[in-house]
Structure formats: structure tokens, C-alpha cells
Structure 1
Amino acid sequence: MLALPVYNGKNLLGIDFEEWFHPQLIQKYLPKKNHELKIIYGIDKMLDWLRKNETFATFFMVGELLEKKPELLDKIIENGHEIAFHTMQHNRLDDNNFKEKFEKELDLFDKLTSGKSKGFRAPTFSLNKNTSWAIDHLIEKKYLYDSSIVPAKTKLYGFNDADVAPYNISSDFLMGDNKSSLIEFPLLITKVFGKKIPAGGGFFLRFLPLKIIDSAIKSYQKLHIPATFYIHSWELTPELMPSLPLSISDKFITYHNLRNALPKMTKLIKKYQFTSFERYL
């Protein structure tokens, strides 16, 4: 068992580093072919933003981007940030035949990062009872933590009964296993009209009023729990994100308030202390 870290007043910031064509809601509209890279060219902007705000982050990296641009690794590490795994092509864990590919992907990412990756986040938070096999592979590869659990149920993901505080997780006990060596860092949630909803990033960062997110962080502070946040690379660089012809609902989730994601996150990291998972541990 890996001992749970003692709360130190800091919160956790993960950047899900992926291209414009990786999000699940976009993939179904695109033909299977090589797409032009755009978002990776915003890496300097992201690093400058973190530097100016004296904040460290964990980059949950889609591995194929490191294959195409290996210099990304040095830029991230040399600036004091952490690299972590987000699958090689942003596959959901429950995609057809992905179970057979996952271990090979872990090995490949290990080579690409010279063994520096010790954390994982499942695309679209697709870790669930049917995909818990992934945890066994993470433990086998000496990973220290996962951050794929959202303690609120949505149409795409989530567990209403999951703990909001970091806990040890295993493939048999997604809600907690004190004997496990893998730590789970659940994403920030809040309650609106008595209903649990995500509040730690992505669409909900863009959709929820800042005062609701601010209140959620304060409630975690009172409980001595770190607020775990994520923001997509394309939310930090909306000027590089192409406008795609999606359905009304998918377009709303993908593009709503996109240009306000960076200003909102900036206000949060100026007001509260954030750091990488590696530094928190």
C-alpha cells in the first residue's frame, strides 16, 4: 500500500494534452485519416501561462503526439512539470479490443518518456467496473496514481458513491482498497439544487459560474481535501481550435464559452495554490 499524501493546502492541476481531433464528441464526425496538428503549437503559450502564474501542472499526454513531436517531453520536464499517460490515441478504455492494446501502449509510452510517467487518466473518464482491468496494468507498471474517477454521475461517466478525497484503488474495489498501491485522485465535484455535478474542469469549468466553482474549492479546503482540476490543451489555446460542423448538443458541449476557459482558470490559480500530482505526492 502507498500511503495517502497529507493535505498541504495545495490543489492539483492536470492539463489533458490532446489535439483538436482527439475529443470523443469530435472523433465520430471525422474520417479515419491523418489530421493536421494544431494544438501542439500552443505548448509555449501554456508553459508561459504556468510560469507567469508560478504554477506547476501534470500534462496527461496523448502518446502519439510525443511520437510525432518528441521535443514536447523536454519542454515540459525542463520547465518543472510532470508528464503522465492519457493513452496513445485518446481511446476510451471500453473501445473494442482496447484491453489487448493497453499493456503495449503503457510499454511504448514508457519508452517515449524514459520511464518518467507515473500517473494515468482515462480518456472521457472511461474507467468503470467493466474497464477496471486497467488498474492491474498500472500497478504492474509501478504507476503511483490514477485520476479517472468523477464522484458524480453524468451521461458519459461518473460514480455517485465514490469518495471525494484521495483514496487507494484496485480493480476489484473502485470505491476504495486500503491494500492497493495505487492512489486515486477524484475530480472536484459540487452540488447544485442537491444534485452532484462535476466542477473540476472541461465543459463544467466553462459552463458553471465562477462563484459555484469557487465555493466548491472552499468546501474542499474545509475538509482538508485537494481540489483536482483539469483543463484541455485546446481550451488553453482556443485560437488554434478549428470550428467543426457538429450536432447542436455536441457543438454546445465542445465550444460553449471556449474563449473564457483560460481567463476563468487563471483567476482560480491566482486565488488558490495549484501544483502537479508528482509534486503533491
Structure 2
Amino acid sequence: MTQGRQAGIRNAMTVDVEDYFQVSAFAGTISRDSWDRQPCRVERNMEKILAIFSEHGIKATFFTLGWIAERYPALVRSIVDQGHELASHGYGHLRASDQTRAQFSDDIVRSKALLEDIGGQPVLGYRAPSFSIGKQNMWALDALYEAGYRYSSSIYPVKHDHYGVPDAPRFAYRPNGPQGLLEVPVSTVRFGDKNYPAGGGGFFRFFPYELSRWLLRRVNQRDGQPAIFYFHPWELDPEQPRQAGISAKTRFRHYVNLHRTEARIQALAADFKWDRMDRIYLGAQ
């Protein structure tokens, strides 16, 4: 039994359910109106993920795009039928920071209703595409609460060229007071006066797995807190279509070590104890 499981801390395993052509970094290359013409690979990649979770007895939270749910309702029902939490990633992967409050409210209400209609269970959680809630649009948290969401995982307390609020709290908190929405940040570790990503994304693929394991154990053991980990289905898919016309930086970030991700997720599943966000933070059964 691993140290993570011995510690008994339940960590939150989360998946942002979107396809490779929907990532924000490709927005200038793959037009939104061409999405229906792209080879969709989310179903096969989700089958891998659900099989891994089943093998290890893991229940997870799936932040799912309404666009995906609308076209692949059987996938949504598989998530629910296997005991996972269904949560919202918005409808069409529009960054919250690129929308007005009215547009954002329409998006989150639409996606919540769609997911609940297909999945047959309440949708309480939301994660903004590209962690796009920050100091300039904190009104989004009020909009989420008004729409019936009870927690968000959208404010990343790191410095990044596309997102992040470096001085935001590292662990679950209520930005708008005790009766407001609960914000649950993806995990970071703190060295000196800076937070470093520890909860997945490109960093999980770029660095050796042993570093991610060490960082997550540090969150459990030194901070005494659950770790929040996230990844995307396309990160397990080295055979996905390669995009032309993207920068070297974007190409590296998106494609680095895709062929290693599935084995790393397998290791992560075995090394730590995992559960759904709503069970860890809202006391759901």
C-alpha cells in the first residue's frame, strides 16, 4: 500500500471532458463553426479513462462541456451510471473572461440544464474553461451561485501567461462570504513566496511522474489537505490529429509526452486515494 493511501486522505480526481480541437490554445486555428467537422475522439478516450477508474475503484468528477453532452448523451449516462459526479465545464468552452455577465449566465444555465436533463442528477460543480475566473470577473461566482451551482474549481492560484491569481488562497474557501459559492482550487505547492502547479495539466506530462507524486504527497502530508488533480481525455491520445499553423510553444505544450500520460494516470490511480469533489467538499453521499 502506498503512502498516499496509507494517509487515508481522499483526494479529488477530476476530468475536464472536452476534445482536442476545443482547447483554448487552438481557438485561432480551428474555428468554432468547424467543430462538427473535426474527427471526434472523446468517446474512445473516455472509455480508457472510465476503464482505469473502474479498475482502481475510483469515483471522480467529470467537468463536462454541454457541446459534448448534447452530441454524446450515452457518454454522459455512462459517467453517471458508473457512480461518478457530473459537473459543468460550460457549454462551448468559451472563456468566462471573454463573456459579459449576461452571456456567462446564459452559458452556465444552459449547460447545467442540459447536463441535468441527460444525466438525471443535480449538477452542483463548475470549472471555467482555462481557469478563466480571476480578479477582473469575480462577478462570475455570484452568477454561478444564482444559477444553482454550489462550488467552483475555476481560480488557479498560480502565475501563468493565460490565467491565474497568484495571491488567491491555495485551499477551499468562500470568496463572497460564508453563504456564497465554495471555490476549490487545483492543487499547488508553495516554495518561498511563490505557488507552483501540482495538480495536473501540462506540468504532469512535462516532468517525470515521480515529481508529481512527491508534490501531491506534500499537499497531503505537509498541508494536511486533499489534493485536487485534473486532466483531459485528449491527453491520453497520442494518435490525435496534429494541427498545423500553431506556434512552437503551443505545439510543445499540447503534444509533449502524450504517449506517457495513460501509464502515469494508472500510477496516480494506484498511489493515492481518490473520490468525487461533491463528496469531499459538500458531504454528498
Residue 274 of structure 1 corresponds to: 274
- TM-aligned CA distance change 1:154 to 1:227, over 3 Å: same
Kindly indicate whether residue 235 of structure 2 is the aligned counterpart of residue 229 of structure 1.
no
Residue 58 of structure 2 corresponds to: 55
Residue 159 of structure 2 corresponds to: 153
Residue 107 of structure 2 corresponds to: 105
- Name the structure with the higher helix share: 2
Q: Distance in 2 between matches of 1:207 and 1:199?
A: 12
Cα shift at 1:130? 1.6
Q: Secondary structure at the match of 2:96?
A: coil
The amino acid across from 1:183 in the alignment is: L
Identical counterparts, % of pairs: 30
Q: Distance in 2 between matches of 1:259 and 1:69?
A: 25
Q: Distance in 2 between matches of 1:157 and 1:22?
A: 17
Q: Distance in 1 between matches of 2:219 and 2:179?
A: 24
Cα shift at 1:40? 2.7
Residue 187 of structure 2 corresponds to: 188
Residue 131 of structure 1 corresponds to: 137
How does 1:121-270 map onto structure 2 within 5 Å? 121-170=127-176, 177=177, 179-191=178-190, 195-222=194-221, 223-239=223-239, 241-245=240-244, 246-270=246-270
Q: Distance in 2 between matches of 1:104 and 1:193?
A: 41
Of stretches 193-202 and 112-121 in structure 1, the one that deviates more from structure 2 is 193-202
Contact map agreement 1:199 1:208 (CA 8 A) in 2: no
Q: Secondary structure at the match of 2:137?
A: coil
Question: TM-score when scaled to structure 1?
Answer: 0.88
Q: Distance in 2 between matches of 1:259 and 1:270?
A: 19
How does 1:4-153 map onto structure 2 within 5 Å? 9-31=9-31, 32-33=33-34, 34-36=36-38, 37-95=40-98, 97-114=99-116, 116-153=122-159
Q: Secondary structure at the match of 2:211?
A: helix
- Count of aligned residue pairs for this structure pair: 266
Structure 2 residues without counterparts, runs of 5 or longer: 1-6
Q: Secondary structure at the match of 1:168?
A: coil
Structure 1 residues without counterparts, runs of 5 or longer: 1-6, 171-176
